[in-house]
Amino acid sequence: MDDNQFYNEIQKLVDGVISEIIVEKEMFLTFRNAWLASEHRQSIVGEAGLSGKVIYRLVKLNK
* Contact present, 44 and 56 (Cβ < 8 Å): yes
Residue 52 CB neighbour total at 10 angstroms: 11
First to last CA, the chain: 34
Whether residue 21 lies inside any domain: the answer is yes
Whether 46 is in a domain gets the answer: yes
The per-residue pLDDT for 21 is 97
Q: How many domains does the chain have?
A: 1
Range of the domain at 52: 3-58
Q: Between 23 and 3, where is the model more confident?
A: 23
**Domain-embedded: residue 16:** yes
Residue 63 lies in a domain: no
Residue 7 belongs to some domain of the structure: yes
pTM comes to 0.88
pLDDT score recorded for residue 13: 96
